[in-house]
Amino acid sequence: MTQASALEQVQRQIMWNRLLSVVEEQAQVLIRTAFSTSVREAGDLSAGVFDLQGRMLAQAVTGTPGHVNAMAASVGFFLDRFPADTMAEGDVYITNDPWLGTGHTHDFTVVTPTFLDGRIVALFASTSHVVDVGGRGFGADASQVYEEGLRLPIMVLAKRGVMNESLLDIVRANVREPVQVEGDLYSLAVCNETGCRRLIEMMREFELDTLDALAETVIENSRQAMLEEIRALPFGSYDNAMRIDGYERPIDLVARMTIGESGIDVDFTGTSPVSAYGINVPLTYTQAYASFGVRCVIGGAVPNNAGSLAPVRVSAPEGSILNAPEPCAVTARHLVGQMLPDVVLGCLYQAKPEAVPAEGTSCLWITALLGGHGVAGDNESGGDPPGQPFTISMFHAGGTGGRPGQDGLSATAFPSGVRNTPVEVNETIAPLIVWRKEYRRDSGGAGEHRGGTGQVMEIAHAQGAPFAVSALFDRILHPPRGRGGGAKGVCGRVSLGSGAELSGKGRQTIPAGDRLILEMPGGGGLGDPNKRLAALVAQDLRDGLISPEAAERDYGRVDEGD
């Protein structure tokens, strides 16, 4: 390598790092300007920059795998509808089509072209989850996508800097929280515009007329780095299956992973067929989370872009629940899709056991709550009105599985990566009181590395009115499994303060004066419980994560001393 080419490589590495800074600022602008708590407080979003072929060059660290990796595919659909040479400065495009975006109508994806001296040079894309899109609301009750609210094809949000007011009128007329939803659409456009400005500044600083050379460097280096890690694995085929609760029946997720010279293929043949309810998964979302499961163990240090994603190929038979065709209902696709990293990790455990954690809760326990006229049964509330209308989605999680060398994380969302939404924020924007939020003792599976604990929440209407929950919960019948001799985690439970059990899926009423109680699952344990250090058992006892009875039963130790 000549001195000049070495300097050129260093310069391109600097520019690559600069791209990462640009998209991270893009994501932070989205967080600061978003109206919905799911974005502002939980970080349920994605942001990235793409070349004119629709290849993702860089993504923000902030965001979720389901959004980021599905968005990586969706930009190509935008270019199919609006080719780059037809775009103009100030144009902004939008969709929430589940099969063209990130898997359900509650996610809006916005794409904005970037122009340098009158020439298009790149595209910025961002995605966020909005609180409501009309229809039945955020839940799994629908039988077709048409019932799940407003669905926008890929279309113009702004043309030459002028917003599409007809589109905004339609959105406002069809959603329960028009101010929040419209505000989120503006925040998506604003964050992309910030990315465009920062990219132009970078290109002028480095005297770039095009991103073509940088794009090829980024993509090819990432692809080669990913292939090097894959080729260090033992080649072969590895099978794994997982059973989860489902809605009307249990669901079997079946995977075969084949590791070879050209990459990793994950095939979900044998997986259960589509459901009659809204838990079906479009293929882009399946690909997003399955590829993320691979990346958790393989190539974790390689930046996530089109190059590093290319060697991981994911397929599922059309008509299976992981490749649901239109018009299947898909709003709660996360209930199934977020299980896929654990399924994939079960395959990788056979090839690289020292690097794979136990199963965790996996899917978010999103608590979609509604109040006001017509949403909570007969609206009887002791002679009082049904209470103020509200719609809110509270993001919470159970425990993750025990990890190599470490315990699982408690009350932490994996694989989605979103944060728990703060109680204080939820109580401010909705007439709710969270009476209890605490770790769920004895919920983590025993092991050399204990599974993370779940959490318990107790929620009531502040004025004692009835309200409704659109239950979006799994791992109630089928707990997270341990690995390497570790015990399974404890199943979740949904109930009323008055004692009645609730279902894990579907809209249900919390009667006036009653409380909703959520007991979230714990993660599975990793490794033989007999190998757990006595000091760690004692620490768990002092912290109240396990009871003396569980310490004796699972570890044969009850000493709480040092």
Angle at alpha carbon of residue 221, lines to 217 and 227, rounded to 5°: 150
* Alpha-carbon gap, residue 157 to 164, rounded angstroms: 5
Separation between Cα atoms, residue 346 and residue 481, nearest integer Å: 10
Q: CA 236, CA 343: separation in Å to the nearest integer?
A: 17
Structure token digits, residue 381: 């509330």
421 Rama sector, left if φ>0, alpha if ψ -120 to 50, beta otherwise: beta
Q: Check whether residue 57 and residue 201 sit in a common domain.
A: yes
Phi-psi region for residue 177, left (φ > 0), alpha (ψ -120 to 50) or beta? beta
Assigned token pair, 104 = 């359900």
Rounded CA separation 254/248 (Å) = 19
Q: Which residues face 437 on adjacent strands?
A: 457
Strands 312-315 and 263-267: parallel
399 shares its domain with 456: yes
Question: Which of 335, 353, 371 corresponds to the end of one domain?
Answer: 353
- Does residue 219 lie in a domain region? no
The reply to whether 50 falls in a domain is yes
Q: Is residue 538, in this structure, part of any structural domain at all?
A: no
What is the residue type of 127?
Answer: T
**390 residue type, one letter:** F
Please count the other Cβ atoms lying within 10 Å of the Cβ belonging to residue 352: 16
Check whether residue 286 and residue 202 sit in a common domain: no
What tens digit of pLDDT does each residue of 414-465 get? 999 898 889 999 999 999 999 999 999 999 999 999 999 999 999 999 999 9
Q: What is the pLDDT of residue 293?
A: 97
SS (H, E, C) 84-115: HHHCCCCCEEEECCCCCCCCCCCEEEEEEEEE
* Lookup result for tokens 């199934």: 336
- What is the three-class DSSP state of 97? coil
Sign, Cα dihedral of 493, 554, 401, 39: positive
The verdict on 523 and 384 lying in the same domain is yes
* pLDDT for residue 3: 46
Cβ density class 239-254: b for 16+ within 10 Å, e for less:
ebebebbbbeeebebb
Which residues share a beta bridge with 259? 236, 264
Question: Same domain for 85 and 206?
Answer: yes
Same domain, 362 and 499: yes
pLDDT of residue 559: 67
412 shares a domain with 317: no
User: Is residue 489 a part of any domain in this protein?
Assistant: yes
Strand partners, 328: 144
**Same structural domain for residues 156 and 285?**
no
Q: State how far the Cα of 465 lies from the Cα of 512, in Å rounded to an integer.
A: 5
Helix axes 283-295, 340-351, angle to 10 degrees: 40
Element (H, E) at 439: strand 432-439
Q: Which range of residues forms the domain containing residue 278?
A: 232-353
- The three-state secondary structure class of 242 is strand
Judge if 242 and 368 occupy the same domain: no
> Considering 306, 328, 353, which residue would you say is the last residue of a domain?
353
- Domain contains 12: yes
- 58: helix, coil or strand? strand
Question: Residue 301: which residues within 8 A CB-CB, separation 6 or more?
Answer: none
Integer Cα distance of 71 and 85 in angstroms:
21
258 Cβ contact partners less than 8 Å away, ≥ 6 residues apart: 236, 237, 238, 264, 265, 267
Residue 290 contacts residue 313 (beta carbons within 8 Å): no
What angle, 0 to 180 degrees and rounded to 10, lies between the N-to-C axes of helices 548-555 and 534-543?
A: 160
Give how far Cα 108 sits from Cα of 43, 50, 153, 181, 213, Å.
14, 17, 11, 10, 31
Q: What pTM value is reported for the model? A: 0.94
Q: What total of structural domains would you count in the chain?
A: 3
491, 501 contact by CB (below 8 A)? no
Q: Is 428 helix (H, G, I), strand (E, B) or coil?
A: helix
Ranges under pLDDT 70 in the chain: 1-4, 376-386, 559-562
Structural domain includes residue 327: yes
**Residue 543 within any structural domain of the chain:** no
Residues 281 and 288 sit within 8 Å (Cβ to Cβ): no
pLDDT for the residue numbered 379: 44
Is 150 found in the same domain as 7?
yes
